[in-house]
């Protein structure tokens, strides 16, 4: 079991942790302008900025490296904000530690490569700097956990995971598909690990960031990492997704921060009541599915005896249409009902085929 520290003791601040700053450090002036504005907002725990940029294509802005680490030193001294950078190699780790960087993060491309993560983990040995670990490019919870375990095994206990979404195939509304279920699974497997969200890389568009951030808070994520640039239109990387400091403050004003639980007696008993209704309905649904499956088995036998195929297209089309119509009349989404039926139908076909196979085997054995 990976025993990470809670977010409160990670030196990250009191949750929800708010991390903000530009995608890339472009100049000392740009960093100071953004950092001052964020400092004034009074709501930022940690200033982020990439100094080595892992770009998908060569020939694009790759970051200012060591020079930018010096600018971050100035930012820290001027604003008092702790600073975080992305590291992708042992040399990055060493330079960041030497420059007094407070928090490191592993980017999504690096997390996708266990060799790189191992090398970074070795470079971290003997330090206790907090490390944030973004999700890998593919929705592979094992790969994400593997990176966390590798860093943890090097002695780092202050770890947070960052959900930034997964590469889509083709076009999608969000630049990266959120797949909240992967973060939920990570939290189920590593209950002590704080998981935060990066709505900027997830959505890829400034106008979608507030909605993604609210969704992250509603999913009980322990913090937000938001890209903020003084002049997003001129940014050297991730131009479309960065917020101005003003828009960032407006977004924070409008976000609803709800608590995970509430001690109010009335609320708790009402919640208990609603939960027991859900429990009861879930068991009824499972009972009905079991009954449906028994009938499927009988149909398998019947079809087998009459040499009829398991699958009949007309019947399936009729099931889909009638159930989706009915669901819609009750206010349910057609897509949702169709996906649900697809699951049931797949299972039903599987059962019928097993019944047929068994009957055939029995017949052949005489």
Are 351 and 297 spatial neighbours (Cβ–Cβ below 8 Å)? yes
Q: What are phi and psi of 231, to 5 degrees?
A: -145, 75
User: How near is the Cβ of 58 to ligand PEP at its closest, in Å?
Assistant: 15
DSSP character for 11? T
Q: Does 351 bind Mn ion (CB under 5 A)?
A: no
Cβ neighbours for 68, distance < 8 A, ≥ 6 positions apart: 25, 31, 49, 51
Q: Does 201 bind ligand PEP (CB under 6 A)?
A: yes
Coil, helix or strand for 134? strand
- Taking CB under 5 A as the binding criterion, the range among 1-9, 18-26, 302-310, 327-335 that sits at the site for Mn ion is 18-26
Minimum CB distance to ligand PEP smaller for 61 or for 316: 61
Quick one: what does residue 108 bind among Mn ion, ligand PEP, none, with the CB cut-off 5 to 8 Å set by partner type? ligand PEP
Are 145 and 4 spatial neighbours (Cβ–Cβ below 8 Å)? no
Q: What are phi and psi of 217, to 5 degrees?
A: -65, -40
- Taking CB under 5 A as the binding criterion, the range among 232-240, 249-257, 325-333, 343-351 that sits at the site for Mn ion is 232-240
Minimum CB distance to ligand PEP smaller for 125 or for 205: 205
Are 191 and 200 spatial neighbours (Cβ–Cβ below 8 Å)? no
Contacting residue, 107, 136, 199, 245, with ligand PEP by CB under 6 A = 107
Burial of residue 202 (CB within 10 Å: 0-12, 13-18, 19+) is: buried
Q: Does 158 bind ligand PEP (CB under 6 A)?
A: no
Alpha-carbon distance 208 to 216, whole Å? 13
What is the token pair recorded at 241? 């997704």
User: How near is the Cβ of 302 to ligand PEP at its closest, in Å?
Assistant: 55
User: How near is the Cβ of 14 to ligand PEP at its closest, in Å?
Assistant: 23
Q: At what angle do helices 90-98 and 66-79 cross, to 10 degrees?
A: 40
Q: How many CB atoms lie within 10 A of CB 250?
A: 13
Q: Does 229 bind ligand PEP (CB under 6 A)?
A: no
Name the residue number minimizing CB distance to ligand PEP: 107
What kind and span of H or E run contains 64?
none
Q: Does 23 bind Mn ion (CB under 5 A)?
A: yes
Q: Does 30 bind ligand PEP (CB under 6 A)?
A: no
Q: At what angle do helices 141-153 and 114-124 cross, to 10 degrees?
A: 20
- Taking CB under 5 A as the binding criterion, the range among 96-104, 237-245, 249-257, 304-312 that sits at the site for Mn ion is 237-245
- Taking CB under 5 A as the binding criterion, the range among 23-31, 66-74, 129-137, 164-172 that sits at the site for Mn ion is 23-31
Q: Does 238 bind Mn ion (CB under 5 A)?
A: yes
Minimum CB distance to Mn ion smaller for 44 or for 193: 44
Quick one: what does residue 26 bind among Mn ion, ligand PEP, none, with the CB cut-off 5 to 8 Å set by partner type? none
Chain residues in the site for Mn ion (CB under 5 A):
23, 238
Chain residues in the site for ligand PEP (CB under 6 A):
23, 50, 54, 86, 107-108, 134, 164, 198, 201
């Amino acid at each position: 079991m990976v025993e990470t520290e809670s977010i409160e003791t990670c030196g990250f601040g009191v949750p929800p942790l708010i991390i903000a700053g530009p995608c890339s450090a472009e100049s000392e002036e740009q960093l100071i302008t953004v950092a001052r504005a964020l400092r004034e907002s009074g709501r930022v725990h940690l200033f982020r900025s990439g100094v080595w940029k892992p770009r998908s294509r060569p020939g694009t802005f790759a970051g200012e490296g060591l020079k930018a680490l010096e600018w971050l030193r100035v930012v820290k001294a001027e604003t008092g904000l702790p600073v975080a950078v992305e590291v992708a190699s042992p040399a990055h780790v060493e330079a960041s530690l030497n420059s007094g960087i407070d928090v490191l993060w592993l980017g999504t491309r690096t997390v996708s490569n266990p060799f790189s993560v191992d090398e970074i983990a070795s470079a971290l040995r003997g330090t206790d700097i907090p490390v944030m670990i973004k999700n890998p490019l593919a929705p592979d919870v094992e790969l994400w956990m593997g990176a966390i375990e590798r860093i943890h095994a090097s002695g780092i206990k202050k770890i947070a995971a960052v959900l930034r979404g997964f590469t889509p195939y083709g076009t999608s509304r969000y630049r990266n598909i959120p797949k909240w279920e992967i973060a939920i699974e990570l939290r189920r497997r590593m209950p002590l690990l704080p998981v935060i969200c990066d709505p900027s890389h997830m959505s890829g568009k400034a106008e979608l960031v507030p909605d993604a951030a609210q969704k992250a808070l509603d999913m009980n994520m322990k913090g937000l990492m938001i890209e903020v640039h003084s002049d997003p239109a001129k940014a050297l990387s991730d131009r479309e997704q960065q917020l101005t400091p003003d828009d960032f403050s407006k977004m924070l004003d409008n976000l609803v921060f709800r608590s995970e639980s509430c001690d109010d007696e009335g609320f708790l008993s009402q919640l208990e009541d609603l939960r027991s209704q859900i429990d009861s309905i879930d068991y009824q649904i499972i009972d009905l599915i079991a009954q449906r499956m028994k009938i499927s088995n009988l149909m398998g036998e019947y079809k087998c005896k009459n040499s009829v195929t398991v699958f009949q297209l007309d019947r399936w089309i009729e099931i889909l249409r009638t159930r989706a119509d009915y669901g819609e009349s009750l206010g349910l989404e057609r897509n949702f009902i169709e996906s649900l039926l697809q699951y049931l139908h797949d299972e039903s076909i599987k059962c019928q085929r097993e019944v047929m196979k068994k009957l055939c085997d029995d017949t052949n054995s005489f």
